[in-house]
Amino acid sequence: MDRAPRLRTPRTYLGAAAGLAVAANYVPATVTLGQWGSLRVLPGDLCRWRGPDVSRVAITFDDGPNRHTTPRVLDCLDQLGLRATFFCVGSLVERDGDVVGEIARRGHQVETHGHRHQHHLFHSPRWIVNDLRRATRVMSECGFPSSWYRPSYGQATGATLVAASALGLRPVLWSSWGREWTTNDPDDVARRISGRLDPGAIILLHDNDELGSPDMWRVGLSALPRLAAELERRELQAVTLDELVYGGRL
């Protein structure tokens, strides 16, 4: 016996719409794992992992500033003749804002790492918008308006990408990282970075350990001379993120 077609109720449609909304929010979190592949950038600068295929790389530092550790990293960069980009956590900028000025005075680029260093996968779109708004406000008040944004833990939901775009921020992740929190050996860090040290690479290190493992910044610091030697061997120059992506002075 034929069955009568089952009618879809408004609740059915609402449930389906909610499911699509959840999927739209979390699918990009998978997309942003592009550091494992060969993607350089998504259309419209929706997310970037690498710069152009040029003889330059961008060394980037996350999780600062810290008045005790960041200056030590800056001293080492000065000694090695390397320029870098620092992604700063807004709540730490509120505490150590003078360090942000020192970063810029030494010729490096300053950008935002959000206000609170938390997983976006665990937060609502409203929380994400408010966090990014506060982060950009703090950086502007410090005198360094942000144009690039690196989400905490490299996680970006659909809400992350929408909020960043609305605030004029370009999300950027990385193509090579040291994972300093997993080892006490700077040679391990240098080897990991060197394994994906291609032209246009964006390298991830950390200048602070408050949000990670104790002394991880020291391991990365000790790896910098090894990284500098490898860059020289490969005839690659370390520049700021803007200089890598858009060209400019060396």
- pLDDT for 164-179, tens place per residue? 999 999 999 999 999 9
End-to-end CA distance of the chain: 79
Residue ranges of domains in the chain: 30-246
Do 41 and 48 meet the contact criterion of CB atoms below 8 Å apart?
Answer: yes
Nearest CA to 40 out of 19, 54, 59 is that of 54
As a whole number of angstroms, the distance between CA 148 and CA 123 comes to 21
User: In angstroms, how far apart are the furthest CA atoms of the chain?
Assistant: 84
What is the assigned CATH class of domain 30-246?
Answer: alpha beta
Query: pTM for this structure?
Result: 0.88
Evaluate if residue 151 carries a pLDDT over 70.
Answer: yes
Catalytic positions, please? Answer: 62, 206
Check residue 5 and give its pLDDT. 42
Evaluate if residue 203 carries a pLDDT over 90.
Answer: yes
Instruction: Please give the DSSP secondary-structure letter assigned to residue 239.
Output: E
Q: What letter represents residue 186's amino acid? A: P
**What is the DSSP annotation of 92-159?**
HHHHHHHHHHHHHHTT-EEEE--SS---GGGS-HHHHHHHHHHHHHHHHHTT---SEE--GGG---HH
Evaluate if residue 195 carries a pLDDT over 90.
Answer: yes
Note the pLDDT tens digit of each residue in 14-42.
Answer: 444 444 445 556 656 555 556 667 789 98
Do 114 and 89 meet the contact criterion of CB atoms below 8 Å apart?
Answer: yes
